Amino acid sequence: MQAELFTCKNIRALRFPDTDDGDYARRYLIPLMTEGLQKYIRNAYNTQLMAVKVGETIIPVTVTDFHPQNTYTVSPYSHYVTYGGLDEVKHLKNPLAEILVRLALYPVARYFRFAELDKVVFVNNYLLSTNLYPSVNSEQLSALSEALVEWFPDRAIVFRSIDQKKNPLVFDVLKALGCDLVLSRQVWYMDPAASLKTRQCKEDVRVLKRTGYEAVNGKDLSDDDLHRAAHLYELLYLQKYSYYNPQFTFEFLKLARDQKILYLRGLKKDGRLDGIMGFFVRNGAMTQPLFGYDTALPQEAGLYRLLTLVTLQEGVRRGLRVHASGGLGKFKKVRGAESVTEYNAVYTGHLSKRRQSPWKLIGWLSKFAIPYFKKMDF
């Protein structure tokens, strides 16, 4: 089996498979590849989005070089140092611990820069927080891995969003091919039918009725609503969490609505959009890379829990497992979620010792971090 690589110059020559995943790839990749990534995701710097066809499956890949403000979805440096390290320590609410962590991180950060950690190819990367995998077999994964090393001999090959619950075959095959499995984050899976039976979700239903919010379909959102939706996402995911999250533009939201690269659901009251959620579906699961609400409204409005409720209701309606991404572990756990370790599968066997070393260090640190993450319900 041979793999074929397509860039912005020849993407229109790609014959996309006549499948749901193939059609999604066409609707998503062609505009982002031909019109420029930063039209849709502002902080995707020094990055080329490409597509690989292997058999009848399309796999997007990003090829990135370092930029200090890059989104973590294209940059391991942003993932492990600036977002995962320097930004996250602020949430410890312990000034002394924050100082100590920062002092420890600064030499590591310099070392990662020296070892060119960000000279990388991210595989199955739609530049979203979570990248669900299509149905692939071991022959396809082997052909893909071999081709990527040949095409990009000076870059680490990193398969994003690997876990043993949703894609055990991908996990096992990549490990057998010589990939190192290093910590990405803790993620949460939910059986929506079971979750909706929990006491907390039943209370969420009562909150929805009490607050008077209406769940609206994305096709009914106007352009003005989409501008508001982009702002709501910014309030939560950028201002509250980190500017190293993908910075989706109005054009991205418009593409989501018009081409259904995300199914949008909003929460409206008195004609005003106060919450937004966007999800996509792949291989029996759904995940929500777009979440936002008006953080200036009182906590009693319960907008985060209401968006989660809408998500679970969609999961039941479609018969899908919900990948609830990372963070807010205690909130998700009491609603029936199960914690799973997500990995980056990294192949560096073709690189020099200097280039391999930062990934070996991350792998070594992962052995200590994973038990801590599980214990703390991140």
Mean pLDDT, rounded, for 304-313: 98
Per-residue pLDDT of 177-234, as tens digits, reads: 999 999 999 999 999 999 999 999 999 999 999 999 999 999 999 999 999 999 999 9
CA-closest candidate to residue 158, choices 168, 149, 169: 149
Per-residue pLDDT of 96-120, as tens digits, reads: 878 887 888 899 999 999 999 999 9
Q: Which of 24-38, 91-105, 275-289 has the lowest mean pLDDT?
A: 91-105
The residue assigned the tokens 């192949």 is 347
- pLDDT-derived band at 90 (thresholds 50, 70, 90) equals confident
The residue assigned the tokens 């071991």 is 138
How many Å apart are CA 42 and CA 344, to the nearest integer?
Answer: 24
- pLDDT at residue number 151: 98
- pLDDT-derived band at 374 (thresholds 50, 70, 90) equals confident
- pLDDT at residue number 92: 67
Mean pLDDT, rounded, for 232-243: 96
CA-closest candidate to residue 142, choices 226, 200, 84, 55: 55
How many Å apart are CA 264 and CA 248, to the nearest integer?
Answer: 14
- pLDDT of 377 > 90? The answer is no
Where b means 16+ CB within 10 Å and e means fewer, 92-130 reads eeeeeebeebeeebeebbeebeebbbbbbbbbbbbbbbb
The residue assigned the tokens 């319960």 is 302
The residue assigned the tokens 């390290």 is 85
Q: Say if residues 160 and 122 touch (Cβ distance below 8 Å).
A: yes
- Residue 302: what residue type? G
Mean pLDDT, rounded, for 253-263: 98
CA 297-302-303 angle, to 5 degrees, is: 70
How many secondary structure helices (H) and strands (E) does the chain include? 12, 12
Q: Residues of the chain with pLDDT > 70: what percent?
A: 99
As a whole number, the mean pLDDT across the chain is 95
Residue 156 gets which letter from DSSP?
Answer: E
Q: CB neighbours (10 Å) of residue 15? A: 10
The residue assigned the tokens 């312990």 is 94
Q: Say if residues 373 and 186 touch (Cβ distance below 8 Å).
A: yes
- pLDDT-derived band at 260 (thresholds 50, 70, 90) equals very high
How many Å apart are CA 324 and CA 279, to the nearest integer?
Answer: 10
CA-closest candidate to residue 323, choices 307, 334, 312: 312
Q: Say if residues 352 and 317 touch (Cβ distance below 8 Å).
A: no
Mean pLDDT, rounded, for 233-261: 97
Statement: 189-338 belongs to CATH 3.40.630.30: yes
What is the three-class DSSP state of 101?
A: helix
Mean pLDDT, rounded, for 286-308: 97
Mean pLDDT, rounded, for 49-67: 98
Per-residue pLDDT of 359-373, as tens digits, reads: 999 999 999 888 878
- pLDDT of 289 > 70? The answer is yes
| Domain locations along the chain | 3-186+341-376, 189-338
